[in-house]
Amino acid sequence: MATRLIDIAEKAGVSLTTASHVMRGYTKSKIKLETTDHDLKVADEHGYRPNAIARSLKIQRINTIGLYTGYGYHSLRDPFLAEVYTGIQRVCSDLHYDFLVHVDIEGKEPSEIRLRLNDGKVAGLIVHAQSGDAVVAELARIRMPAVAIADRQSVLPSVIADDADGMRQLADYLWSRGHRHIAYLTSHLKLASIEARSETITQLMAERGGRCTVLPFPQLHPAEFLAQLMESEDRPTALCCWNDYYAYQMVRVGMDLGLRIPEEIAVVGFDGLLDTLLPARKLVTVGVPWEDMAAEASKMLLRLLDGETLPLVTTFPVTLIAGDTA
């Protein structure tokens, strides 16, 4: 049981109110400097910190914001989300907020999910979801403070990229290099940005007398897809991919097929997220199951909360991964 304000007050020999005033640096009512100093000292000795929960309940505010994404738990291996997290954290850090990753929301009905998001743990949400996400509609209905990022939500203030302009720049670039027939590789996700991008480029190419074929990105057999595409009579000369990840996959598949890029097939992406730090070499290294370890640590933490005693050290095995750099 952590020390409470009343404990501090008692130890310091003052009332609860006085202690509270001192802790909050209340200036209106002038408290004796002596009292103040003494109180603070006592609080410090006991490592006292006001309980944020009780405080939130009283003042009806909480300095925590959350993130809702349509997907279950967020894969931070997705460089896009990593950027989003980093941005949120930067601001939270500056403005003294904490950042709650809502994860207890999986496999539920939309209405139930929004209930979970609205249980008072966060003051508001950053939202990244597909168009027509039912949860987002619910959130808007109950006027939960929320801002959409990257993919526009009609019912929320949205922070988006200038997708159309980006596509125009790409179209200009490709056109000036002589491309008259391109393919746009889209995603199965119903994201506003994807629609904006594919529509814009299709229209731009058509306006100029060229054309753009919209195709779903071949998740399962990218190599077969590209091989077939290259053999087709009326084939596109450039692949315009929804994002960098898709694009790099196409580049790799192209290289595997022995295609010269960009001479035989040009590839462009969208995002500017993935850099080229990693050469096309396979590193000799030691594989560590970091994710499993973090999972195990979390489980242990919860068991700890249950009063269980845990071993001081839990060691996971690691494995050498062969490569070509050594």
- Interface with DNA by CB under 7 A: which residues? 1, 4-6, 14-18, 20-21, 23-24, 29-32, 35, 48, 50-51, 54-55, 57-60
**Which class for 229: exposed (0-12), middle (13-18), buried (19 or more C-beta within 10 A)?**
middle
Binding partner of 302, given DNA, a second copy, none, CB within 5-8 angstroms per partner class: a second copy
**Of residues 29 and 325, the one with the C-beta less far from a second copy:** 325
Binding partner of 80, given a second copy, DNA, none, CB within 5-8 angstroms per partner class: a second copy
* Phi, psi angle pair for 266, to nearest 5°: -90, 150
**Of residues 120 and 287, the one with the C-beta less far from DNA:** 120
What span, in angstroms and rounded, lies between the C-alpha atoms of 137 and 135?
5
Instruction: State the minimum distance, in angstroms, from the CB of residue 14 to DNA.
Output: 4
Binding partner of 59, given DNA, a second copy, none, CB within 5-8 angstroms per partner class: DNA
First CA to last CA distance, the chain: 55
Identify the CA nearest to 152 among candidates 125, 168, 129, 135: 129
**Of residues 92 and 215, the one with the C-beta less far from a second copy:** 92
Instruction: State the minimum distance, in angstroms, from the CB of residue 77 to a second copy.
Output: 5
**Of residues 32 and 54, the one with the C-beta less far from a second copy:** 54
Identify the CA nearest to 134 among candidates 113, 119, 104: 113
Instruction: State the minimum distance, in angstroms, from the CB of residue 113 to DNA.
Output: 18
Instruction: State the minimum distance, in angstroms, from the CB of residue 106 to DNA.
Output: 21
Instruction: State the minimum distance, in angstroms, from the CB of residue 62 to a second copy.
Output: 7
What span, in angstroms and rounded, lies between the C-alpha atoms of 121 and 62?
7
**Of residues 80 and 217, the one with the C-beta less far from a second copy:** 80
| Residue indicated by tokens 């062969």 | 322
What span, in angstroms and rounded, lies between the C-alpha atoms of 230 and 259?
9
What span, in angstroms and rounded, lies between the C-alpha atoms of 285 and 262?
32
Contact 183, 242 (CB under 8 A): no
Half-sphere exposure of 270 (CA within 13 A, CB side): 27
Instruction: State the minimum distance, in angstroms, from the CB of residue 12 to a second copy.
Output: 18
**Of residues 133 and 244, the one with the C-beta less far from a second copy:** 244
What span, in angstroms and rounded, lies between the C-alpha atoms of 84 and 127?
10
